[in-house]
């Protein structure tokens, strides 16, 4: 009788375990798998996981806390990382991955604003070289431009000669908020001087290209004729997807009667990262 009783009790315990699996352990396994897959998008993905798992607010807070602890205890100190691979604290990504061999191929559609005829061709951006200046690593492209990812975003400088004073400037502010403005270098054309201001128009713009659909930051460049005080908006629109880079551009030029005319569109066709 005693043996039968113990056997029945053991069966009840097994049945309760089968009917009541540990939900938090299941969710943690899911979270760990997401950690391995998403890597730099860790924090962003962690914030979205609760809706996916449909857990209540109290468990949501516990899960997110555990995920952050796992991330902090298992990752390398950000100060030890190269800036061009740095995980930014708000997004867990960079606006444009920089490494020798990274290549982006674009389809360019150019329109003659007089005849209306269009011309299509392909353009390529490739990171070809790496330079070190004042202990900073800069990546050179086939366009004779240099880029470096920093905590404020992606920096740019022209040319590959560092004998002159630092000419770098913030090109893509990242992460950034909608409505933020910052200046770009001015230029002179046909005797007129133009100042450029870049505006973060959106941080969740969906853009469709031959390479696919991407959730993008939208940057809008506006011109100011500093002599005549004419303002041209937009002069150029750029769409960038974090961890991918430049997705698409729309370009305008000053046409008849000082009005802006749309004349060029660039779309991502494919990319390859090393």
pLDDT tens, position by position, 171-214: 999 999 999 999 999 888 777 888 999 999 999 999 999 999 99
- pLDDT over 50 (residue 97): yes
User: Quick one: which of 264, 250, 268 has its CA closest to 212?
Assistant: 268
- Between residues 33 and 174, the one the model is more confident about: 174
Q: What is the predicted pLDDT for the residue at 65?
A: 52
- pLDDT over 90 (residue 46): no
48-63 per-position pLDDT tens digit:
444 444 445 455 454 4
* pLDDT bucket at 223, cuts 50 / 70 / 90: confident
Which range of 15-19, 156-160, 223-227, 239-243 scores highest in mean pLDDT? It is 239-243
Report the Cα 239 to chain-centroid distance in Å: 10
* pLDDT bucket at 162, cuts 50 / 70 / 90: very low
Calculate mean pLDDT across residues 65-89: 45
Q: What is the predicted pLDDT for the residue at 92?
A: 62
Sorted by where each begins, the domain ranges of the chain are 2-75, 103-126+163-272
137-151 per-position pLDDT tens digit:
999 999 989 999 999
Calculate mean pLDDT across residues 91-109: 92
Calculate mean pLDDT across residues 28-45: 44
Q: What is the predicted pLDDT for the residue at 159?
A: 64
Q: What is the predicted pLDDT for the residue at 115?
A: 84
- pLDDT over 70 (residue 91): no
Q: What is the predicted pLDDT for the residue at 160?
A: 59
- Between residues 25 and 43, the one the model is more confident about: 43
- How far, in Å, CA of 7 to CA of 140, rounded? 73
- How far, in Å, CA of 38 to CA of 128, rounded? 27
Which residues are CB-neighbours of 90 under 8 A, at least 6 positions away? 43, 175
According to the 3-state scheme, what is the secondary structure of 117-152? Answer: CEEEEEEEEEEEEEEEECCEEEEEECCCEEEEEECC
Q: Indicate the average pLDDT of the chain.
A: 75
The continuous run of DSSP H or E covering 187 comes out as strand 181-189
Residue 202 structure tokens = 């959106």
- Between residues 194 and 120, the one the model is more confident about: 120
- Single pTM value for the model: 0.65
First-residue to last-residue Cα distance in the chain = 70
């Amino acid at each position: 009788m005693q043996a039968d009783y113990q056997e029945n009790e053991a069966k009840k315990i097994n049945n309760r375990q089968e009917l009541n699996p540990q939900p938090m352990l299941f969710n943690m396994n899911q979270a760990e798998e997401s950690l391995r897959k998403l890597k730099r998008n860790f924090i962003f993905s962690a914030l979205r996981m609760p809706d996916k798992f449909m857990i209540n607010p109290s468990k949501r807070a516990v899960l997110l806390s555990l995920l952050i602890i796992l991330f902090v205890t298992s990752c390398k100190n950000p100060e030890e990382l190269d800036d061009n691979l740095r995980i930014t604290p708000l997004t867990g990504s960079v606006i444009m991955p920089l490494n020798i061999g990274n290549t982006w191929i674009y389809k360019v559609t150019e329109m003659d604003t007089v005849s209306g005829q269009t011309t299509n061709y392909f353009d390529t951006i490739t990171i070809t070289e790496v330079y070190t200046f004042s202990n900073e690593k800069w990546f050179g492209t086939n366009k004779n431009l240099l880029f470096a990812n920093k905590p404020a975003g992606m920096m740019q400088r022209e040319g590959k000669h560092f004998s002159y004073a630092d000419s770098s400037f913030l090109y893509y502010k990242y992460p950034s908020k909608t409505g933020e403005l910052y200046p770009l270098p001015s230029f002179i054309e046909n005797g007129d001087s133009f100042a450029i201001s870049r505006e973060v128009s959106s941080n969740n713009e969906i853009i469709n290209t031959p390479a696919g659909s991407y959730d993008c930051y939208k940057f809008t460049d506006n011109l100011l004729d500093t002599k005549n005080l004419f303002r041209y908006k937009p002069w150029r629109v750029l769409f960038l997807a974090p961890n991918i880079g430049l997705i698409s551009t729309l370009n305008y030029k000053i046409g008849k009667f000082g009005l802006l005319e749309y004349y060029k569109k660039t779309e991502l066709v494919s990319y390859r990262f090393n």
